[in-house]
Structure 1
Amino acid sequence: MCPLDTINPEQSLDENDIIIERSLPLCNSKEKIIIVVDIAEDENFTSFKLNNNSHKPLHMMKHAIELFLNSKYLINQKHEYALVILNENNAIWLSEFTNNISDVISALQNIGSCNAEDIFDLNTLFDIILENVEIPGECDLEEMLIPPPYVVRTVLFYGRSYTVPKLRKTKDIQKLLESPYYTFDVLMTHEPVDIDNNCNKIFKILQNLDRKGFAYFFPVSRDVKTLYDSVGKLLAHPLQRPIQKLANYNIEDIKI
């Protein structure tokens, strides 16, 4: 059971749930990963606590993303990363795809914060993705047995607890979200849940963006361990990981 101050992601597997099967090969194809960083700060935000020190949510998010980039680079140096920021009310494509993580980290560290507004238009994010990214073309079932040249994944690091995201699903956005070569993951850092904020509502909206059942969603209150654990789980390749409800992170003893 989730603590009262955290979001319940409703990820427990029900006996009536349909187990989704992939149609693509389980291979480590090159990833083009779009790191989307929400730089807006809520008014009177709660800080993370680490080693008796207080840290702003954006600072901790940057550090977590840096860990993600360094760890992902060790797994496969061919993966490429682009950086996008969400300011008060729109998205900005900050850096082009590159496998030089030092450039991405440098751009990340130079990002400042801004104030949050009541509503964020997610169309600005998807419009900029569609402008800058080419998804591998559709193919028939037989061709889908061949590993794609690359897959595209957006990892949204959303940090607002009051700003409700809005999305008008155009045909192009719907096609993007339904593509087998595209994944939309979310890590949401948030204030302790209470009746005055919109944490659960926001998370549900972001969860509902995934219609294929393969995306990962992590709500993180102001807990450093949960933040790092969640980032570690995002390292898994979209074509090689199970659906989130079936993921098992327990380490078992292997008898030889």
Structure 2
Amino acid sequence: MDENEQKVHAQQSHYEEHEDNDSNSALSPIPQNDKNEKDDKNNTVANVSLGTGKDNAEIVENDVLAGSSSVRKPTEHYSGDEVNRPNLDEETDTFEAAKSTRDVKPPAKAVPKLRRTSSSLPLRLVSLPKVSCREKIIFCIDHSDEMFRNKFLSHGSNANPVFKTLVSAVKQFVNTKSYLNKNNQYSLILLNDGAQLITDLSRSFDEVLMMLEDIANMPNSHDYEETDVDKVFDLSSMFKMILELCGLNENPKQFVAPPYIVRVVFLYGRSDSRLVFSSGRKSFNDLIQCPQFFLDCVYIHEPPDDNNIVGTIFSSICDLDIGGTSHVYEVGTDRNMACLFNVFAKLLAHPLQRPKQKEKMIEYELKL
């Protein structure tokens, strides 16, 4: 073997020996210290990629403080269902909003509301004790054609005329007042062209109720086409008859309990007949100057419009309350008849024991 062949053979032997050493070193076990460091590094990477946001933030902060050169930021994972899932709540709200918009009806025409006002005329007031003394109650009830022609709003077909409904309300009122004080007296005056006395003051309220029932069941034969041409009603005749009936000639002193009081319940139901004092206001002024006299008014009317003078009539009724002691109510025929019964329930209070009715109406609520 020459010299060149010996050199080549020596180099091959050197290479084979070097490869054997490398294979043995790859198969040899890893030292324990190196293995622990490698596992810690792998665990750190796993925790960073799979941990919660709070844990990831703590790990990243620790790595930065430790001077790590390869800081792995936490990643956020989103699934396709979460990104593309439709918002059913928003679609439902949109559908309901569109449905409600289609169902909206145009607002109904507003009906003008009657407002309770007070008279500005001066009057010397005399205070009386708040005692429940005997009452002389005089019903002045309108007997015009409108009271029999108009009807309250009803969902059924058997709606009674206003006068019949009024008779039922007066009947309940009288029975309750007689239960509270059996010494009360009652009288009835009907209002046609003028005032007509039907029953005198009496403790026997059955006579008043019987007369009302008979009048309600009788057809109204009064000819209003000829007598009501001027469309006015004279209050002078009514107050003149009241003054003659009750005889308020005494003037009680202040703080002296009266033996009785006189209360007039004026029930008017015309929507196109003005209230006037054709014969002067002397009888009316004599009555309101007496502290024992009280005037309550209930106005039953058609819905206000351009074809009637409901607002003007109601203002005239409010002007009758000069002393501020009257209670004035109004009930439209476009409402339920229960409103009329509620008004009479409010009138049950004794005039000397009830508060004054201000421009802001006193509200009562009946809970069954």
Query: Which TM-score band (shorter chain)?
Result: 0.7 to 0.9
Q: Structure 1 residue aligned with 2:186, among 74, 77, 81?
A: 81
- Render the CA deviation track for 1:70-123: whole Å, top value 9, x for unaligned: 111121111110000001x10001101112221110011122434552111111
Percentage identity across paired residues of the two chains = 29
2:261/2:292 contact within 8 Å kept: yes
| 1:9 aligned residue | 115
Residues 131 and 21 from structure 1, CA distance in 2 versus in 1: closer, same or farther, beyond 3 angstroms? Answer: closer
| 1:180 aligned residue | 291
Q: Structure 2 residue aligned with 1:26, among 119, 122, 130?
A: 130
Q: Structure 1 residue aligned with 2:169, among 64, 73, 77?
A: 64
Q: Supply the distance in 2 between the matched residues of 1:251 and 1:70 (Cα, whole angstroms).
A: 19
Say which SS state the counterpart of residue 299 (structure 2) adopts. strand
Asked whether 1:157 is paired with 2:267, we answer yes
1:190 is displaced (CA, Å) by 0.7
1:151/1:181 contact within 8 Å kept: yes
Residues 133 and 78 from structure 1, CA distance in 2 versus in 1: closer, same or farther, beyond 3 angstroms? Answer: same
| 1:97 aligned residue | 201
| 2:322 aligned residue | 211
Q: Supply the distance in 2 between the matched residues of 1:73 and 1:6 (Cα, whole angstroms).
A: 38
Q: Structure 2 residue aligned with 1:166, among 263, 276, 283?
A: 276
Residues 4 and 231 from structure 1, CA distance in 2 versus in 1: closer, same or farther, beyond 3 angstroms? Answer: farther
2:233/2:273 contact within 8 Å kept: yes
| 2:310 aligned residue | 199
2:116/2:318 contact within 8 Å kept: no
| 2:160 aligned residue | 55
Q: Can you give the 5+ residue segments of structure 2 that lack an aligned partner in the other structure?
A: 1-108, 119-123
1:9/1:218 contact within 8 Å kept: no
Say which SS state the counterpart of residue 159 (structure 2) adopts. strand
Computed over aligned residues only, the root mean square deviation of the Cα atoms, in angstroms, reads: 2.5
Letter in 2 for 1:194: D
Q: Supply the distance in 2 between the matched residues of 1:244 and 1:180 (Cα, whole angstroms).
A: 17
Q: Supply the distance in 2 between the matched residues of 1:248 and 1:192 (Cα, whole angstroms).
A: 22
| 2:354 aligned residue | 241
- Render the CA deviation track for 1:155-212: whole Å, top value 9, x for unaligned: 0111111111112543332121222110111111111111111111111111101110
- Render the CA deviation track for 1:130-176: whole Å, top value 9, x for unaligned: 22111261133xxx322101000100111111111112543332121
- After TM superposition, the score normalised by the length of structure 2 is 0.60
Q: Structure 2 residue aligned with 1:37, among 141, 155, 164?
A: 141
4+ runs deviating over 6 angstroms: none
2:148/2:162 contact within 8 Å kept: no
Say which SS state the counterpart of residue 209 (structure 1) adopts. coil
Residues 45 and 104 from structure 1, CA distance in 2 versus in 1: closer, same or farther, beyond 3 angstroms? Answer: closer
Q: Supply the distance in 1 between the matched residues of 2:344 and 2:290 (Cα, whole angstroms).
A: 24
1:43 is displaced (CA, Å) by 9.4
Residues 166 and 176 from structure 1, CA distance in 2 versus in 1: closer, same or farther, beyond 3 angstroms? Answer: same
2:152/2:159 contact within 8 Å kept: yes
Letter in 1 for 2:116: E
Q: Structure 2 residue aligned with 1:226, among 339, 347, 357?
A: 339
Structure having the higher strand fraction is 1
| 1:124 aligned residue | 237
Q: Supply the distance in 2 between the matched residues of 1:6 and 1:155 (Cα, whole angstroms).
A: 25
Say which SS state the counterpart of residue 213 (structure 1) adopts. coil
Letter in 2 for 1:132: L
Q: Which protein shows a greater Rg? A: 2
Q: Supply the distance in 1 between the matched residues of 2:161 and 2:339 (Cα, whole angstroms).
A: 16
Q: Supply the distance in 2 between the matched residues of 1:175 and 1:137 (Cα, whole angstroms).
A: 11
Q: Structure 2 residue aligned with 1:110, among 210, 214, 226?
A: 214
1:244 is displaced (CA, Å) by 1.4
1:46 is displaced (CA, Å) by 3.6
1:9/1:219 contact within 8 Å kept: no
